[in-house]
């Protein structure tokens, strides 16, 4: 039955890693995403029995979950059946991964395990060994280094083309309300815990060159970031560039293409733990109002403001109920709802100066 905010929350499991997103010759493509589509169909068919409304289903995901949500929004099967009315994409954009990057990840795991790169062979591996190997091989798969990784790929069926381009072109989910956003310091979760900040700072120009290759941009982009952030170290410049390239630019494109149905937010409250700032995934404890749980304190530390959790949880619940989180819809002024320790506020174009650097770079002839 509906909970405290009149919302029925459903969480589902799906295959991950090599079994969910590995390209294998004897298995279907994108099985993890197909699991999610099956779950979404079940919710649509069954949620009324739990007090929910099948015509008001909100699909929400964070990070890889947001990537999945974007792919499902663009999927012809989901659209044909009217499975989604609203969607929340937190710190993740609709995208399809390069097949070669996925294949390299599969090959690395198979080589380490000394098995053929087939679904049958992977299924016979001890589960704990499989997880350990996957974690070890995937150490360089974080967004900043951009190494091989598992992910959704174009398959000609469930994902017939790049999901972001499909949504930007208006070919799918035309009437779906969108809530899109990020945290102020996404990259700090990718760089701080493993000590990469110091390493990137030491590399200096080499790290910047790597970031330029990662982001497919010219030298004017990092120069522009240096001018906008004169006190920032190399690691921060690299982190900001990668965050904007992977998250803010695609989500801006999506909001620009669908201004009448889009709301954009930024989570800005910094963790009380050293150097994490407003890092990737920190907002989850506030969205679900679970700041008292040990899992939330691992990122937020002690003393997280309960008022902020109330504000965010209420905004997400209102959006699920009627599509209005209490913020201004997207338009040419780029209104972004900022969630910080103070009351939520709207700021116009807070990232426009950085994002303009990419537009100028794209216009520069080679």
Residues involved in catalysis: 63, 186, 280
76-87 as b/e, with b when 16 or more CB fall inside 10 Å?
eebbeeebbbbb
Identify the residue whose tokens are 């150097």.
Answer: 275
DSSP secondary structure, 280-310, as one string: TTTTHHHHTT-TTSHHHHHHH-S---HHHHH
Cα 238–63–21 angle (5° rounding)?
Answer: 105
d(CA 135, CA 137): 6
Q: CA angle, corner 276, sides to 325 and 279, nearest 5? A: 30
Integer Cα distance of 168 and 163 in angstroms: 9
Using DSSP's 3-state secondary structure scheme, residue 20 falls into helix
262-267 and 177-183: which strand pairing?
parallel
Q: How many CB atoms lie within 10 A of CB 11?
A: 6
């Amino acid at each position: 039955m509906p909970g405290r905010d009149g919302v029925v929350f459903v969480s589902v499991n799906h295959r991950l890693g090599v079994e969910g997103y590995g390209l294998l010759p004897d298995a279907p493509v994108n099985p993890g995403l197909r699991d999610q589509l099956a779950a979404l169909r079940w919710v649509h068919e069954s949620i009324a029995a739990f007090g929910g409304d099948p015509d008001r289903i909100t699909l929400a995901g964070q990070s890889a979950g947001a990537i999945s949500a974007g792919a499902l929004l663009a999927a012809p099967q989901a659209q044909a059946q009217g499975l989604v009315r609203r969607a929340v994409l937190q710190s993740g954009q609709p995208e399809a991964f390069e097949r070669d990057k996925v294949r390299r990840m599969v090959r690395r795991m198979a080589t380490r395990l000394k098995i053929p790169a087939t679904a049958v062979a992977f299924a016979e591996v001890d589960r704990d060994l499989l997880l350990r190997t996957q974690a070890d091989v995937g150490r360089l798969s974080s967004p900043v280094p951009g190494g091989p990784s598992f992910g959704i790929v174009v398959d000609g069926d469930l994902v017939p083309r790049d999901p972001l381009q499909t949504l930007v072109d208006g070919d799918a989910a035309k009437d779906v309300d969108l809530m899109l956003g990020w945290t102020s310091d996404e990259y700090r979760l990718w760089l701080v815990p493993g000590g990469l900040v110091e390493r990137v700072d030491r590399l200096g120009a080499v790290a910047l060159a790597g970031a330029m290759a990662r982001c497919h941009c010219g030298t004017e982009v990092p120069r522009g970031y240096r001018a906008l952030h004169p006190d920032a170290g190399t690691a921060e410049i690299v982190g900001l560039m990668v965050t904007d390239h992977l998250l803010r630019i695609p989500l801006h494109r999506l909001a620009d293409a669908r201004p009448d149905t889009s709301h954009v937010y930024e989570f800005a409250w910094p963790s009380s733990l050293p150097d994490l700032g407003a890092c990737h995934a920190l907002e989850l404890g506030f969205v679900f109002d679970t700041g008292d749980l040990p899992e939330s304190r691992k990122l937020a530390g002690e003393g997280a403001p309960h008022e902020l959790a109330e504000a965010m949880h209420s905004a997400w619940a209102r959006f699920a109920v009627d599509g209005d989180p209490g913020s201004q819809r997207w338009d040419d002024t780029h209104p972004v709802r900022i969630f910080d320790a103070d009351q939520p506020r709207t700021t116009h174009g807070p990232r426009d100066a950085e994002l303009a650097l990419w537009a100028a770079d794209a216009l520069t002839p080679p």
